[in-house]
Structure 1
Amino acid sequence: MVRDDLYITVPSFFRCPISLDVMKSPVSLCTGVTYDRSSIQRWLDNGNNTCPATMQVLQNKEFVPNRTLQRLIQIWADSVHNRRADSVESPPSLDQLRDLIKDLDRKTENSIRVFDTFAKIVLFARESEENRKFLAKMDGFIVTLVEVLGNAGDASCRNFELLEHVVVILDLVLSKVEEPEQLTSSMLKGDRECLDSLVLILQGGVTDSRIASARVLAAIANDAVSKLLIAEKDGLLSEMLKFVTPENDQSLIEAVLSCLIRISMPKRVKSKLVRLGAIKSLAKLVSNSNSGVRVTEKVLKLLETLSSCKEGRLEICDDVGCVAAIVQRVLKVSSPATEHAVTILWSLCYLFRDERAQEAVTTANGLTKILLLMQSNCSPPVRQMSADLLKIFRVNSKSCLSSYDTKTTHIMPF
């Protein structure tokens, strides 16, 4: 058993089926399913007319506050707060940490003592960068983490919270490991279930551990072989794509996108992502005005990667709204976002001459944005791609630019 004062498990019916976070304002649809108000409101505002959990067509879009569940969640939250307040600990000292790690008995990884040890190590690792370096260099420590992770990937694992602690620690110390290739090889051994454990955490972990899992996967994807092994793990890509939605935590979306970018270079991985519906998910994110700068940059980078395969280009061009959203991101986000957006448009409209994409760019007032971009101090590659795009639309950039008042030449895209 896991000590309650060290970790609190969230009852599944307290979580919103959309965001998977604890509901703050639970409301029930006519189908009887309860969601957090903000999540279901976004779902309905996006034009959906079905219940996300059951996919039943809604007879009406009204929802009723679930007061009983809200009171239960509040009682539970107060209990969590009180327990955590009673169990706040200071991170162990270096000497204490050495003793804790020395005493770890790998044969009793289900014991309360081992869980307690890893909980303290999390506190120690989060305290400072020096602490993280210390852990990464400690003889045998990383090996212990990998062994625990590799021997507990079963979905029936009774120590799920222990796995979450191990993954969080790995995420904190991975950047300090001196031989990352050796670590990758160790984690991806055929007789270990590290990938199973990471998928398990993506499926049922709290937001922090899901973020850690995605970051660990990105960190160990450091060559062609490891990228394919990770991408072809059963259920991993589909599980990750579940988080690529506007309703999810921005840090989680960013971590998942970073991982997908890392592992999506092989052609067959790109094709698989497209088949799993990645383009539709990315189109929603790039259209969402609430997406942060870093999320937008990564969405555009992944769209750029997927546009390099035939299936990806066809999906993007089939979605007029996606092309229009990319056009809108050409300006006023950031330099990387501009470069990714222009590269996608250049690939679709100039390199592969897709008429649907060309029409969508014209309809979305893309030519004006490209002209304004060329007036800015954009990078030489972006300037060249912009000039190529203008040629496609039979626009003479010099004559068009001369028609603008010279006072507009100060306009900057970011």
Structure 2
Amino acid sequence: MISTWRRRKADRRAGKKQLQQPDGNPNVEIMIPNHFRCPISLDLMKDPVTLSSGITYDRESIETWMEAGNYTCPATNQVLRSFDQIPNHAIRKMIQDWCVKNRSYGIERIPTPRIPVSPIEVSEILSKITVATGSGDEMGCRKLVAKIKIWGKESERNRRCIIVNGTGRVLSAAFDAFATASSEKHAEILEEILAELTWMFPLDAQGHSYLGSPTSLHCMVWFSKCGHLSRMRTATLALKQLLSLDQQHVDALAEIEDVVEVLIKLIKEPICPTSTKDSLMVIFYLVSSNEKIKSKFVQKGLVSLLLDILVDSERGICEKALGVLDEICGCDQGREEAYHHALTIPVLVKKILRVSDMSTEFSVSLLWNLCKNEKREEGGVLVEALQVGAFQKLLLLLQVGCGEKTKQKTTELLKLLNFYRGDFECIDSMDFKNLRRPS
């Protein structure tokens, strides 16, 4: 096995490719001509381009070289007079012919590459979008946005070119303008614009200002409750990305009248796991900084809903649900709801060391919060925690290791639980002997 690996590695360096003949013989080696190989990667070029130095490279390799801050030709070390990459159609055609000639050996013909979009082309499209938006030309704007969508799908390079030339700002302005005119009338173009904006984050300051305007936020909330699945998914994703970057947008969203009901419905009637995670993140940003809206979520039954989700949910949803619950239980009203729910303590203890480090930290924080703030003298929460095995779980957590804050809360919880151990503990520590720390 070792000699075979070394043989293959040596063959690659020599430009050889071991392929299978039509008769099934696997030992035939095909030599890739040197001028078909990229001087950087030494692989067969798929999109050969020539620099001002006269040397031809594969486009992906030379772009990676330049993006790393290099301003010289890798082969000649010559300072480049221009960073233009001229497609070498002659070499590309020769490579394709060679691939066709050797296709009986399993070589696939490289497809003819599309010419990457240029900054000038992007600027021209954006100018036309601005004009179409100003005149209220929805159909014209949709065609232009569709062109950007096609460019973005062609390559990662196109996406970078689209983003760095201010597309996010122009599309955000268009979204705000059409939303101001009428969200219902212009729903289709608004959905298409928002779908493209979701892969352009983070936007610049102006883009955030347009997309975070009260009108734009109202439109996204309307999308989230309209019943159109693709619009609901797009809106929750855009809201999550927008709120993660600017507290002002969090405050503005909290002022929208029915935002709490909309987000609760998205959790209660999930569209897909991704949208559920996005909705939980939006709720997390809201409750993390706004006590008033935190109370509204509690009144709408969010605590019970989150606990039901936590009984059986995948890792990503579990982490986010615990994070939201941790914030909710930071207020008296949230803790009271948690105290009265039969699943609270069993679920939190179960999640310790079962899902992920993050889930463990949130679970410990929640237990600590509930135990420290309990007003009942008989220690009901502590007794219940003991009965479902919290003491052993917390001891094990200290043994396997955790963050400093979690360690402090764990130690304090153990001291509180120890007071009731003699009378109420009923879980044998051996039940956890094979428990492993989550990866």
The match for 1:368 is: 392
Deviation at 1:233, TM superposition (A): 0.8
| 1:168 alignment counterpart | 195
Deviation of 1:145 after TM superposition, in Å, equals 2.8
Higher deviation after alignment, 330-339 or 127-136 = 127-136
Question: 1:121-152 CA distances to partner (integer Å, 9 max, x unpaired)?
Answer: 23433555543433333247523433333432
Contact 1:109/1:115 (<8 A) preserved = no
Q: CA deviation at 1:375?
A: 2.2
Partners of 1:275 and 1:336 lie apart in 2 by 27
**Residue identity matched to 2:384:** A
SS of 1:172 mapped into structure 2: coil
CA–CA separation in structure 2 for the residues paired with 1:135 and 1:348: 49
User: Could you tell me how far apart the structure 1 residues matched to 2:308 and 2:181 are?
Assistant: 34
Task: Give the distance between the partners of 2:320 and 2:146, measured in 1 at CA.
Answer: 32
Tell me which amino acid in the other structure corresponds to 1:380: E
Contact 1:330-1:341 within 8 A present in 2 as well: yes
Partner-residue secondary structure (3-state), 1:103: helix
Pairs aligned (count): 313
CA shift in 2, pair 1:140/1:169, >3 Å:
closer
Partners of 1:308 and 1:254 in 2: how far apart? 21
What is the alpha-carbon distance in structure 2 between the residues aligned to residue 276 and residue 154 of structure 1?
32
Is 1:302 aligned with 2:359? no
Aligned twin of 1:106: 133
Instruction: Please point out which of 259, 262, 265 is paired with 1:236.
Output: 259
CA distance change for structure 1 residues 377 and 243 in 2, over 3 Å: closer, same or farther? same
Match of 1:227 in 2: 250
Counterpart-to-counterpart distance in 1, 2:146 and 2:167: 18
Deviation at 1:117, TM superposition (A): 2.2
Residues 1:329 and 2:356 are matched in the alignment: no
Quote how far apart the aligned CAs of 1:351 are: 4.5
Distance 2:277 2:124 in 1: 37
- Residue 388 of structure 1 is aligned with which of 393, 407, 412? 412
1:125 is matched with which residue: 152, 160, 174?
152
For 1:92 and 1:243, locate their aligned partners in 2 and report how far apart those are by CA, in whole Å. 39
Q: Does 1:268 align with 2:292?
A: yes
Aligned to 2:31: none
Instruction: Tell me what 1:6 maps to.
Output: none
1:256 to 2:279 alignment: yes
CA contact (8 A) 1:373 1:413 kept: no
Between the aligned partners of 1:196 and 1:323, the Cα distance in structure 2 is: 38
Task: Answer yes or no: is the 8 Å Cα contact 1:307–1:313 preserved in 2.
Answer: yes
Q: Are 1:283 and 2:295 counterparts?
A: no
Distance 1:141 1:251, change over 3 A: closer
After superposition, where does 1:31-110 map in structure 2 within 5 Å?
93-94=117-118, 97-104=122-129, 105-109=132-136
Query: Do the aligned partners of residues 297 and 404 (structure 1) sit closer, same or farther apart at CA in structure 2, a change above 3 Å counting?
Result: closer
Say if 1:91 and 1:127, in contact at 8 Å, map to a contact too: no
Aligned-residue offset at 1:410: 8.0
* Cα displacement (A) at 1:392: 1.2
Instruction: For 1:91 and 1:280, locate their aligned partners in 2 and report how far apart those are by CA, in whole Å.
Output: 54
Query: 1:348 deviation in Å?
Result: 0.4
Aligned residues: percent identity?
20
Give the structure-2-normalised TM-score. Answer: 0.63
Secondary structure of 1:151's match? helix
- 8 Å contact 2:175–2:211 — kept in the other structure? no
- Rounded Cα–Cα distance in structure 1 between residues aligned with 2:340 and 2:332: 12
Cα 1:131–1:380 change in 2 (3 A) is same
The yes-or-no answer on 1:137 pairing with 2:164 is: yes
8 A contact 2:328–2:335 mirrored in 1: yes
* Higher relative contact order (CA closer than 8 Å, sequence separation 6+): 1
Unaligned stretches of 5+ in structure 1?
Answer: 1-89
Q: Is the 8 A contact 1:327 1:361 kept in 2?
A: yes
**1:395 Cα deviation from its structure 2 partner:** 5.7
Distance in 1 (CA, whole Å) between partners of 2:367 and 2:155 is 43
The one-letter code sitting in structure 2 at the alignment partner of 1:103 is K
User: Does the Cα contact within 8 Å between 2:210 and 2:216 map onto a contact in 1?
Assistant: no
Counterpart of 2:186 in structure 1 is: 159
1:33-78 per-residue CA deviation (whole Å, 9 max, x = no partner) reads xxxxxxxxxxxxxxxxxxxxxxxxxxxxxxxxxxxxxxxxxxxxxx
Name 2:56's counterpart in structure 1. Answer: none
Give the distance between the partners of 1:142 and 1:91, measured in 2 at CA: 25
Give the 3-state SS of the residue equivalent to 1:243 in structure 2: helix
For 1:412 and 1:141, the matched residues in 2 are separated by 43
CA distance in 1, matches of 2:380, 2:136: 58
After alignment, is 268-277 or 155-164 more displaced? Answer: 155-164
Change (3 A) 1:140 1:389: closer
Quote the Cα distance in structure 2 between the aligned partners of 1:330 and 1:353.
24
Post-superposition CA distance 1:182-213 (Å, at most 9, x none): 433333445xx101210121122644443332
Pick one of 236, 239, 245 that aligns with 1:217: 239
Q: 1:339 aligns with which of 361, 366, 369?
A: 361
Residue aligned with 1:242, SS:
helix
Aligned counterparts of 1:233 and 1:387: Cα–Cα separation in 2: 42
Question: Secondary structure, in 3 states, of the residue corresponding to 2:418?
Answer: coil
